[in-house]
Structure 1
């Protein structure tokens, strides 16, 4: 489902690659059995190829998808650009992971079984990831022109949007003006507007 930052990341990047695909919105919680028939691991996103084979994990899917559209580039090719893209993508995915862990802890685990030291640790990691991202964007802005958008830009924008949807009281816009401005601009691009988070 597109409220998953990983699913949304893949959907937007597939559109940037100009690859035709059909999106099936299946909840890993409410429709577990239906998802298990598609992928027994029940991991979203899962890409089902025309030959019936499946690929899972957003990064793995995008690595494969990029080979199907050699004329469309979502990953940089020059080493210095690759290094920054790898750093920013790693931070964005860490922020996604920590956000998801907090959401799951708060929404899926009964209150009496929630472990506050664990939540505190994950929250600290979440703040660290966004602090690093904010510093990176303050030092060198990411592009907001549609023809310059790539996988790293999608990862950062989607991560920030997800965290703001669910944890805006923990990670504030005011403390991250560069991330907020970038995300606002990205969310107005047609490829984002056609792939809403909810």
Structure 2
């Protein structure tokens, strides 16, 4: 039986989901192994040294981890006309800048969630939470200023758009108070346009997988 590429992780993770969206966009066939870094941590450590998602298991058994490394591999296999990371400057660095901001947005939202959900009441650090919220608000404001119409860097869809859209959906699903209605109209339009694309529809955010992840600890 022929082995196929497998993406490990859940679709509530913006890092897993951005890899899945890019794979669908490129037409890369893959299977899924739905594992959580919390509920399935021992298994995740067997698959990768950090026990983090996403992990991409190639057909030959080789494993890649970290969404940046996985996407670099996928971009390298795409034809120049199909690649979501442009080859020409200055657009290439403009896309990389947007992608980096969107990855950071997702990371800071995740860190805030860990502080609120994983720490026991009375042990949370309000100063740290406030700092994270300032970073989130600052990044949202910067992305809004890019004036997506509908895409963030010029007229063409890019990996920056993928990453921004999945980060925005992640925040909207988990902490909607960080995205007040009407506060970021250009970003909401951008997110809506992206989420309607076939590659996004093929890898939708999963609240069911989030609920089964063990992300929120059971307290006595």
Corresponding pairs, count? 194
- Show the 5 A alignment for 1:133-172: 133-137=143-147, 140-143=148-151, 148-172=156-180
Please state how far the C-alpha of 1:148 moved relative to its aligned partner.
4.2
Please state how far the C-alpha of 1:86 moved relative to its aligned partner.
1.5
Please state how far the C-alpha of 1:186 moved relative to its aligned partner.
1.1
Which residue is equivalent to 1:196? 204
Q: SS of the residue aligned with 1:59?
A: helix
Determine the C-alpha separation between the residues in 1 that align with 2:45 and 2:184. 39
1:41-92 deviation per Cα after TM superposition (whole angstroms, max 9, x unaligned): 2111011122222111111100011222336311112212112211211111
Aligned equivalent of 1:115, options 119, 125, 135: 125
- Show the 5 A alignment for 1:1-198: 1-70=10-79, 72-137=82-147, 140-143=148-151, 148-198=156-206
Q: TM-score, normalised by structure 2?
A: 0.83
Stretches (4+) displaced over 6 A:
none
Q: SS of the residue aligned with 2:27?
A: coil
Determine the C-alpha separation between the residues in 2 that align with 1:156 and 1:142. 12
Determine the C-alpha separation between the residues in 1 that align with 2:181 and 2:109. 15
Determine the C-alpha separation between the residues in 2 that align with 1:51 and 1:101. 34
Unaligned 5+ runs, structure 2: 1-9, 207-220
Greater helix percent: which structure?
1
Q: SS of the residue aligned with 2:90?
A: helix
